[in-house]
Amino acid sequence: MTISQAIRKTVDAVRLTVADLHAELPRNGLVVWTAGNISARVPDSELLVIKPSGVSYDDLTADQMVVTDLHGSVVEGSNVPSSDTAAHAYVYRHMADVGGVVHTHSTYACAWSALGIPVPCVLTMMADEFGGAIPNGPYAPIGDDSIGRGIVETLRSSRSTAVLMQNHGPFTIGRSAMAAVKSAVMCEAVCRAVYLIRQMGEPIPMAQTEIDALYDRYQHAYGQR
Amino acid sequence: MTISQAIRKTVDAVRLTVADLHAELPRNGLVVWTAGNISARVPDSELLVIKPSGVSYDDLTADQMVVTDLHGSVVEGSNVPSSDTAAHAYVYRHMADVGGVVHTHSTYACAWSALGIPVPCVLTMMADEFGGAIPNGPYAPIGDDSIGRGIVETLRSSRSTAVLMQNHGPFTIGRSAMAAVKSAVMCEAVCRAVYLIRQMGEPIPMAQTEIDALYDRYQHAYGQR
Amino acid sequence: MTISQAIRKTVDAVRLTVADLHAELPRNGLVVWTAGNISARVPDSELLVIKPSGVSYDDLTADQMVVTDLHGSVVEGSNVPSSDTAAHAYVYRHMADVGGVVHTHSTYACAWSALGIPVPCVLTMMADEFGGAIPNGPYAPIGDDSIGRGIVETLRSSRSTAVLMQNHGPFTIGRSAMAAVKSAVMCEAVCRAVYLIRQMGEPIPMAQTEIDALYDRYQHAYGQR
Amino acid sequence: MTISQAIRKTVDAVRLTVADLHAELPRNGLVVWTAGNISARVPDSELLVIKPSGVSYDDLTADQMVVTDLHGSVVEGSNVPSSDTAAHAYVYRHMADVGGVVHTHSTYACAWSALGIPVPCVLTMMADEFGGAIPNGPYAPIGDDSIGRGIVETLRSSRSTAVLMQNHGPFTIGRSAMAAVKSAVMCEAVCRAVYLIRQMGEPIPMAQTEIDALYDRYQHAYGQR
C-alpha cells in the first residue's frame, strides 16, 4: 500500500497531531520512560498513525511517527511501530466511530486493573466523562488479536471510553485522538480519587438517574459549540 | 444589559485578574484537563467574570473570559460560560461579601466529598485558614439553583470558606478571587493531610479555644498590612 | 539597634542566601501558597534574617527579607516579619550552634505531628541524617515563647535536627540555613517513606549499633571536604 | 594508575554520559537533595565513572564526575567519589555484563525494602522489565564489601535488574548506565503500583508462563533495532 497524493496532506497533519499529543502523557503524569502510546485514524483511508516502539518522549517528532494499515503493517516510516499496534488496529477495524486510541500504564488505573474490579461511579466528574463505572477487560496475551478483541468487547457494551485490561492497564478511545487522550487523563484522575475514597470507607452511592442526567448534559451541553 | 463606560476599565481589569488566576489551579495540582473554574464579582456592578466552558488552561487569556450578569446570562464574550456559572451567580446574589468563587475537582477534596463526612480540624494550618472543620454540602443536581443554594446554606453557618459538595467536589469563596483561590489550595492541602492522618490512626484532637485563638490571630495578624 | 558598617556586607549576603533558599521549599514540594519560612543567623551579631509574613514565593527577593534582633524586633526592612519569628529567635538565643531554622507545613510531617508519635528509624537514609527517630514536640500556642521552647527542649536531647510540633508541623535546625533546609527536605522524605511502610505492615527494625555507625559515618565521611 | 591516551576520549565520553544521566533521577522523582548515584563502566578498561559525594544535582557537570579503578580508588578527579563507590566497583568486578549501576532512595522502593518482602509480579509492565518479582537483598553495613556482595548474590539468581537492599533502598544494574537508569525508574513505578494494589486487596495472580512470554518478547522484540 502507498500513500496517495490525495491524502498526503492529511497524513502529515495526523502525524503532527499524534506527535504533539504525546506530550500530554508525561505532562499529566501518565507514563514513565517510553511506556504508553497514542494513535489516530487517518480520515478517509485505511491507515493509522502511531508512536514508534521504545522511543523517548523527548524525541517524538512528527517524522518519528509510523503510518500503518489497519492490520498494523507499516506503510510509511523507518521506525518499528509500537508493540501495541495490533491492538490499536483491531479497535479501528471494529469500531467505526473511533478516531483515536490511547494506552498508558498510569499507576492508579494499573492498580485497579490488577484487582479485576470495576471502578464504581461515585463522583460527578466520573458520571460526566464515563457515564458509569470504568469496566474491566480480560487478561489478554500479547502477540495476537486478544488485546484488541478484549477492548472492543468490553467497550461496545459500555458508555465508558476507558477499559482496564486485567493486570495490564488502561486503553481509552475517542472520536478523535485528543478525546482519547482526555479520557486517559480523566481515567487516571478518577481511578486515583476512587482509590482514596475506598481507603477511607464506604462512599455515598449515586443514583443511576443522576448519573444518566450528568452524562447526558456533559456530552451535549459542556464546552464550546 | 450593556457595559457602561464607567466600569469598562474595571471589567477589563477583572478579566485579566481572573484569566491570570486560573494559572494557579494547574500549578497547584488542583485540576486536570479543562476541569475547574474561577469567577470574580465586578465591583460596583451586577456583573461577574468567569472562565469559558471546556477551554484548555493553555488558552485562558483575558479575552477568552466571559462576563455575565448575576443570573448567569452572558453580557459580553463570544464563549459559552462555565457550566457552573449558575452556581457562582447564586453565591454572589446571596452573599454580599463574596468577591470570588472557585470550583475544582481536586482529588483529596473529592474523596472526602464522596464520604459525606466533614474534614475534622486537627492541624493549626487548618484552624488558621478555615477556623474549624471543612463542612459537607448536599448532593445537588446540575441545571438549577441547587448547587448555589447548597453552597450558600452550608457556608453561611460556618467560618469555613470551603464546602465539599457531596459526590462532587469543593467550592470555595473569598472576599476576592485571589482569596478564594487560596482557600481552594489550602482546602486540598488539608484534605490530603487529614486523609493521611486518618489512614495512620486517631489524631490528637485540638481544643475549640485553641482553634478560635489561631483563627482570630491568622485573620487579623498574618501577612502584610 | 542599627546595623553597623562592619556587618553591612554580611547582612546583605545573608539576605541574599535566605531569599534564594526559599526557592527550595516549593521546589521540593514542602509548602503551598505563602506557608513556611526560613531564617539564618547573621554571624558575629545579635541579628537574624527571615521571610516576611504572607508574601508569595514568587516575590521573595533579598530586599523583601526582614532583619530582626534575637527577640524578633525588626531592625531593618519595611515588611512585617514571619509570624513564626519569635520561635526562630528563641532557638538562636538558646542554641549557639544553630545557624539556620526552617518551618514548613509539609504534608507527611504534619500527618505524623497530629498523631503525636515519633517517626521510627527504619531506613539507612534516616539514620544518616537524623541519627534515630524524629521526635515529637509539645502542642504550643502561638504568640509567646511556647513554640521556641518546645523546639529547643525537644532537640537538645536528640541527635535529630527535626522536630514535629504537635498538630502543627516540622521545625528543623542546622549549622547553616542550607543545612536546616536539607533537614526539612529529608524530614518530609522519611516521613513519607515511613508512612508507606506503616501502611504496609511491620518494618524490620534496625539495631541501634547500626544506626550509630551510619550516623557517625554520614556526619564525618559524606560529601566533599 | 593513569589514563592512557588510548582511552582518553572514551573516558571523557563516559564522564559526559554519566553526568547527563543524573538529570533523569530528579526528573523522575527518584531522589531528593544529593541522594542517589549513577556509575558506568569505562569500556575496555578497569575503570568506572561515578558521581561525587554530596554534590547538588544542579552542579553535576562532566568535570565533576570521578574516575576510579574497579576497587574504588580515585584515578582522576578532584572530588571525593560517592560513598557507595565500593558497592558499584564490587558489582563491576563480579558481573562482567554490567555496564552501569544506579542507586537511589526512591520512596516506594525504600518502603518495600524495610518490609523485607519481594514485590510480586502482578502487572505486565513488571513482567516486561523484571521478568518476575523484584527481590530483596540482605541488610549490609556500609564500609566494606557487604553491599556489593549482597547485590551480586541476589541478582545473579534472578532475572530482575533491581534489588531492594534491606532497610536501605534499590540498586539497579544494566548493560549500560542508561539501562540501569531505566530499571531504577521502572522499579519505583512498579513498587508504587503494587503498593496501591496491596492496599486495595488481593491482586489476580499472573501465571509464570505468561510472565515468561512477556519477558521474552520485551527483551527481544520491543524498541528499535
Tell if the CB–CB gap between D123 and A169 is shorter than 8 Å.
yes
Please report, to the nearest 10 degrees, the dihedral formed by the alpha carbons of residues B72, B74, B80, B84 taken in order.
-10
Mean pLDDT in residue range A185-199: 98
How confident is the model at residue B139, as a pLDDT? 97
DSSP string of A132-164, one letter each residue: SPBPEEPP--TTSSHHHHHHHHHHHT-S-SEEE
Would you give the end-to-end CA distance of chain C in angstroms? 38
Q: How far, in Å, CA of A8 to CA of B120, rounded?
A: 61
Q: Which chains neighbour A (Cβ–Cβ under 8 Å, 3 or more pairs)?
A: B, D
pLDDT of residue D223: 86
Statement: residue D225 has pLDDT above 80: no
User: Whole-structure pTM over 0.95, yes or no?
Assistant: yes
* Contact with chain C for residue D192, Cβ under 8 A: no
Size of interface B-C (CB pairs under 8 A): 87
Cβ contacts (< 8 Å) between B202 and chain C: which residues? 115
Element (H, E) at D41: strand D37-42
Residues 6+ apart with CB under 8 A from C201: D115
What is the predicted pLDDT for the residue at C51?
A: 98
* DSSP H or E run through B214: helix B208-221
Q: Decide if pLDDT at B71 tops 80.
A: yes
Ordered by start, the domain boundaries in chain C are 5-220
DSSP string, D91-150: HHHH-TT--EEEE---HHHHHHHHHT--B---SHHHHHHHSSPBPEEPP--TTSSHHHHH
Q: Which residues of A touch B113 (CB under 8 A)?
A: 123
Cβ contact, residue pair D122, A112, below 8 Å: no
Task: Give the H or E element holding residue B221.
Answer: helix B208-221
> Best interface-test mutation with D: which of A30, A78, A106, A167 has the largest number of D CBs within 10 A?
A167
* Interface predicted TM-score (ipTM): 0.96
Given B34, B115, B169, which is nearest A197 (Cβ)? Answer: B115
Q: Is the pLDDT of residue D20 over 80?
A: yes
Specify the fold of C5-220: L-fuculose-1-phosphate Aldolase (3.40.225)
* Cα–Cα dist C168/C193, whole Å: 20
Distance from CA of A17 to the nearest CA of B (A): 16
pLDDT of residue D221: 82
Q: Determine contact: C131 vs chain B, CB below 8 A.
A: no
SS3 assignment, position D52: strand
Distance CA C52, CA C49 (A): 10
Other beta carbons within 10 angstroms of residue C74's beta carbon come to: 16
Question: Among all residues of chain B, which has the CA nearest to that of C141?
Answer: B210
Phi/psi class of residue A116: alpha, beta or left (left: φ > 0; alpha: ψ in -120 to 50)?
A: left
Instruction: Measure C176 CA to nearest chain D CA, in Å.
Output: 16
| pLDDT tens readout for residues C140-175 | 987 789 999 999 999 998 999 999 999 999 999 999
Q: What is the mean pLDDT of residues A38-42?
A: 98
Would an 8 Å CB–CB cutoff place B141 in contact with chain C?
A: no
Contact D28, A32 (CB under 8 A): yes
Question: C-alpha angle with apex A217: A215 to A222, nearest 5 degrees?
Answer: 110
Residue D218 annotated among the catalytic residues of the structure? no
pLDDT category of residue A143 using cuts at 50, 70 and 90: confident
Q: In this complex, do A124 and B167 lie within 8 Å of one another by their Cβ atoms?
A: yes
Measured between CA atoms, how close is D96 to chain C, in angstroms? 29
